[in-house]
């Protein structure tokens, strides 16, 4: 399989402390253009994309409209040597993540891969196994942790959930293990949809999870509404997709969304209001934000 190697340079005059945040946002955006895995560099990131899936014009547009203020991103593209660029990530895995459940639920959510044992917490455990074939969506990122915490604080029993940009499927798996009746996820990347199905099977919830390949337009083919919608995707996609997402939310349903900065909240609140959504709660982890909205 032929790959391109994309070398990104991130310029942050006077804001070097935001470099890691810029890397995180860039990785999320670059995934839309076909990049699959990333390595951090002193100057920014190096990413890898299958040549048949790489969309350079889209990447140029996304980096030109980079959402982090005072940040400039440039990149160069070259052919990469033949190898599995996700292999190193898959082999290394990630350390288990423990997320305390709300008092009314009790216990701890433990997110881990197949290479690491479940740590002893001394409390009841909701065990979530994620065999990641990409680095985002394991629970290591602030937005993923906030989304799981937000779900854990909701009444999920018997609910139907829509997972926008499902990635590894972690949010669907968490919701189903916490009592949701059914989850439907979609992702524009085939490898993500396949990975989500795989992780649903690992967690014994495959019979209640459906992963669809496509962007938000795939919802035109999905029957019925949803009690809960989760969307951990970047600001620009949220702004563009909110009308279609809101149309699938039942009256009285809840939308949980993250993947954006605290500085992005005002424009997202305005867009959500245009769809009849109102803010119920917010959460913040560093510069990252989460909003819970209701229809």
Evaluate whether 202 touches 129 at the Cβ level (below 8 Å).
Answer: yes
Q: Does residue 237 register a pLDDT over 80? A: yes
In this structure, what are the phi and psi dihedrals at residue 221, rounded to the nearest 5 degrees?
Answer: -100, 5
| Chain centroid offset of residue 14 CA | 29
Euclidean distance between CA atoms 54 and 24, whole angstroms? 19
Euclidean distance between CA atoms 258 and 289, whole angstroms? 6
Residue 290: count other Cβ atoms within 10 Å of its Cβ.
24
Mean pLDDT score of the chain: 86
Q: Does residue 134 register a pLDDT over 60? A: no
What's the pLDDT tens digit per position in 260-279?
Answer: 888 889 999 999 999 999 99
Evaluate whether 15 touches 48 at the Cβ level (below 8 Å).
Answer: no
Residue 15 pLDDT level (bands cut at 50, 70, 90): low
pTM of the model: 0.73
- Span of 34-48, 78-92, 183-197 with lowest mean pLDDT: 78-92
Q: How far is CA 14 from CA 11, 18, 42, 170, 276, in A?
A: 9, 9, 16, 36, 40
What's the pLDDT tens digit per position in 96-122?
Answer: 777 777 777 778 888 877 776 776 767
Instruction: Specify the pLDDT at position 1.
Output: 57
Instruction: Specify the pLDDT at position 114.
Output: 73
Q: What angle do CA 37, 115, 180 make, to 5 degrees?
A: 80
Mean pLDDT score, 240-245: 94
Evaluate whether 12 touches 19 at the Cβ level (below 8 Å).
Answer: yes
Euclidean distance between CA atoms 29 and 26, whole angstroms? 5
Tell me which residue has tokens 């002893």: 120
């Amino acid at each position: 399989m032929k790959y391109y190697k994309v070398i990104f340079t991130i310029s942050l005059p006077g804001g070097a402390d935001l470099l890691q945040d810029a890397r995180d946002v860039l990785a999320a955006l670059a995934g839309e253009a076909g990049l699959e895995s990333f390595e951090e560099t002193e100057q920014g990131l190096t990413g890898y994309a299958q040549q048949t899936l790489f969309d350079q014009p889209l990447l140029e547009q996304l980096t030109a409209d980079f959402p982090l203020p005072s940040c400039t991103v440039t990149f160069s593209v070259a052919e990469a040597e033949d190898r599995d660029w996700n292999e190193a990530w898959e082999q290394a895995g990630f350390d288990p993540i423990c997320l305390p459940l709300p008092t009314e639920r009790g216990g701890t959510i433990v997110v881990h891969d197949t290479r690491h044992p479940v740590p002893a917490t001394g409390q009841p455990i909701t065990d979530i196994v994620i065999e990641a074939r990409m680095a985002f969506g394991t629970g290591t990122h602030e937005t993923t942790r906030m989304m799981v915490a937000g779900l854990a604080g909701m009444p999920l029993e018997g609910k139907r959930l829509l997972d926008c940009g499902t990635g590894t499927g972690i949010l669907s798996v968490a919701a189903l293990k916490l009592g949701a009746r059914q989850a439907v996820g979609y992702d524009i990347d085939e490898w993500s949809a396949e990975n989500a199905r795989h992780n649903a099977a690992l967690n014994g919830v495959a019979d209640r999870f459906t992963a669809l390949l496509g962007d938000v337009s795939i919802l035109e083919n999905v029957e019925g509404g949803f009690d809960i919608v989760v969307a951990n995707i970047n600001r620009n996609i949220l702004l563009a997709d909110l009308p279609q997402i809101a149309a699938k939310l039942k009256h009285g349903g809840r939308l949980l969304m993250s993947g954006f900065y605290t500085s992005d909240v005002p424009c997202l609140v305005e867009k959500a209001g245009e769809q009849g959504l109102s803010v119920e709660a917010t959460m913040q982890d560093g510069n990252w934000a989460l909003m819970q909205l209701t229809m």
